[in-house]
């Protein structure tokens, strides 16, 4: 069956609501990592004026991603769509991972008062001179850690080190994008008349990971293959993409409001179970209820952005929201581990929590802009630029003639090929 062409799809004007949703989600991720995860991993970084323990920002971004997969995969050729996704995500990620590795390696060694062996290989990739990577909470990565992170294999084995905890979303998104491309290229899953099939797919993305993790595998299964199945394949976040698919169907009147409400409620329940698998009974973790409520409120906001009127009341700050949304991917990639390292430097310089917080946030925004401006966008333009058509081959007898120069007259002078007379 033929694919719809990209030129036939009309582009809608940029909506403030989508920019606001992205900015709120990324801000929630940043504040949670800076004020809660940072002090949790490195206790000396405590002292911030508040602590955000709710975990919902990354899941909300995946819901938005699932929605726009449905919105854009139908445009043009599927292979080109997937290639553009890869061109957008991979270059910035690879650069961010390399920079994070280098900064984390040398800053961690400095914090731990460690050095490296002789030679450039030991300096860049080898262990510390005392052979210890965990002198304190500041880990000093080695070359194998860089390879694992560049290949995005961190979720496949518990012994692998994440250079940055935020990187877990990248392999999950790439698998979802690839799966969507395969489904769409095989059959028009998202076209009219296939609503029940797509709804069943969304429900399967919510239910199957729960069955596998809590019934087939078991929460406390020590087997390495169980960890790889759940986290390597990203099963613990499929419910977020399912919510995005359901919201897309509902926004196009291809799913009833009641059906959507039930599926979103199931997605919130799945989010709760995957985040807090050890709590079988009612909330005992103080972060559990804020996480669930935050995710539920973000789902409501995404529904409003998808089907409701644009949020014109935010028009005075629309340029700022648009700019922040445009660099949100870059900010997401560089804010966590590099932010912890910067906070440690600021702490050593005598900065208290009230000053560290805005400085770390501002530095993340600046670094995200630099990554977007000088890596993500140029790489995307270069990788997706249309290829120039190859020049037509020269055929006899033209291949015996010199190339005609501009302004050289009606044609080139004849060349004798028969030898001297």
User: What tens digit of pLDDT does each residue of 9-65 get?
Assistant: 345 678 999 999 999 999 999 999 999 999 999 999 999 999 999 999 999 999 999
CA distances to 38, 66, 127, 147, 189 from 161, in Å: 17, 28, 14, 11, 37
pLDDT: which is higher, 186 or 273: 273
Domain boundaries, the chain: 14-45+75-189+311-386
At residue 128, what are phi and psi to the nearest 5 degrees?
-70, 165
Ranking 53-57, 120-124, 230-234, 344-348 by mean pLDDT, the lowest is: 230-234
pLDDT per residue as tens digits for the range 175-207: 999 999 988 876 665 555 578 889 999 999 999
Q: What is the mean pLDDT of residues 91-99?
A: 98
Q: What is the mean pLDDT of residues 73-78?
A: 81
Q: Provide the angle, in degrees to the nearest 10, between the axes of the packed helices 16-32 and 57-72.
A: 150
Q: How confident is the model at residue 372, as a pLDDT?
A: 98
In the predicted structure, residue 407 carries a pLDDT above the cut 50: no
Q: Work out whether the CA dihedral 212, 218, 219, 221 comes out positive or negative.
A: negative
Q: What is the mean pLDDT of residues 381-397?
A: 71
The secondary structure of 53-84 as a DSSP string is: ----HHHHHHHHHHHHHHHHTTSS-HHHHHHH
Q: What is the mean pLDDT of residues 388-394?
A: 61
Instruction: Say how far apart CA 412 and CA 403 lie, in whole Å.
Output: 8
- Cβ distance 109 to 123 under 8 Å? no
Share of the chain above pLDDT 90, in %: 69
DSSP letter at 128? B
Q: How confident is the model at residue 214, as a pLDDT?
A: 87
Q: How confident is the model at residue 231, as a pLDDT?
A: 86
Exposure b/e, 239-261, CB count within 10 A at least 16 = b: bbbbbbbbbbbbbeebbeeeebe
Q: How confident is the model at residue 402, as a pLDDT?
A: 42
The pLDDT-based confidence of 226 (bands split at 50, 70, 90) is confident
CA distances to 70, 396, 399, 400 from 416, in Å: 65, 15, 14, 10
Residue entry with tokens 């199945």: 229
232-238 long-range contacts (CB < 8 A, ≥24 apart) are 232/153, 232/155, 232/156, 232/171, 233/175, 234/155, 234/171, 234/172, 234/175, 234/176, 235/208, 235/209, 236/209, 236/274, 237/59, 237/62, 237/169, 237/172, 237/274, 238/176, 238/205, 238/206, 238/208, 238/209
Q: How confident is the model at residue 284, as a pLDDT?
A: 61
Q: How confident is the model at residue 347, as a pLDDT?
A: 96
pLDDT: which is higher, 117 or 333: 333
Q: How confident is the model at residue 11, as a pLDDT?
A: 52
pTM for the predicted model, two decimal places? 0.86
Instruction: Say how far apart CA 238 and CA 235 lie, in whole Å.
Output: 5
In the predicted structure, residue 420 carries a pLDDT above the cut 80: no
- With vertex at residue 69, the alpha carbon angle to CA 93 and CA 20, rounded to the nearest 5 degrees, is 75
């Amino acid at each position: 069956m033929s694919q719809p062409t990209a030129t036939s799809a009309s582009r809608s004007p940029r909506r403030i609501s989508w920019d606001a949703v992205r900015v709120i989600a990324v801000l929630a991720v940043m504040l949670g990592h800076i004020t809660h995860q940072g002090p949790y991993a490195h206790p000396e970084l405590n002292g911030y004026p508040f602590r955000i323990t709710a975990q919902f920002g990354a899941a909300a971004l995946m819901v938005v991603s699932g929605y726009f997969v449905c919105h854009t995969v139908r445009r043009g050729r599927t292979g080109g769509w997937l290639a553009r996704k890869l061109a957008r995500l991979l270059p910035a990620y690879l650069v961010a991972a390399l920079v994070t590795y280098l900064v984390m390696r040398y800053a961690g060694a400095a914090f731990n008062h460690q050095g490296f062996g002789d030679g450039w290989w030991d300096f860049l990739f080898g262990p510390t001179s005392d052979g210890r990577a965990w002198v304190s909470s500041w880990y000093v990565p080695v070359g194998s850690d860089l390879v694992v992170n560049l290949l995005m294999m961190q979720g496949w084995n518990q012994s692998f080190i994440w250079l940055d905890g935020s990187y877990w979303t990248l392999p999950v998104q790439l698998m979802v994008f690839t799966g969507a491309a395969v489904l769409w290229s095989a059959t028009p899953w998202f076209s009219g008349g296939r609503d029940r099939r797509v709804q069943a797919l969304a429900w399967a993305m919510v239910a199957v990971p729960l069955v596998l993790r809590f019934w087939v595998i078991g929460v406390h299964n020590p087997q390495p293959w169980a960890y790889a199945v759940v986290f390597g394949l990203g099963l613990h976040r499929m419910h977020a993409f399912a919510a995005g698919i359901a919201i897309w169907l509902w926004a196009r009147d291809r799913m009833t409001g009641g059906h959507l409400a039930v599926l979103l409620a199931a997605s919130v329940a799945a989010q709760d179970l995957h985040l807090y698998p050890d709590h079988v009974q009612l909330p005992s973790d103080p972060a559990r209820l804020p996480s669930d409520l935050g995710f539920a409120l973000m789902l409501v906001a995404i529904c409003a952005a998808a089907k409701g009127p644009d949020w014109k009341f935010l028009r005075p700050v629309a340029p700022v929201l648009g700019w922040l949304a445009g660099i949100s991917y870059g900010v997401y990639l560089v804010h966590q581990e590099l932010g912890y390292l910067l906070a440690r430097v600021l702490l050593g310089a005598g900065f208290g929590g009230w000053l560290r917080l805005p400085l770390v946030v501002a530095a993340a925004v600046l670094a995200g802009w630099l990554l977007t401006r000088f890596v993500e966008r140029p790489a995307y333009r270069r990788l997706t630029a249309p290829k120039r058509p190859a020049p037509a081959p020269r055929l006899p007898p033209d291949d015996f003639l010199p190339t005609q120069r501009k302004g050289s007259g009606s044609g080139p002078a004849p060349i004798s090929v028969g030898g001297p007379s």
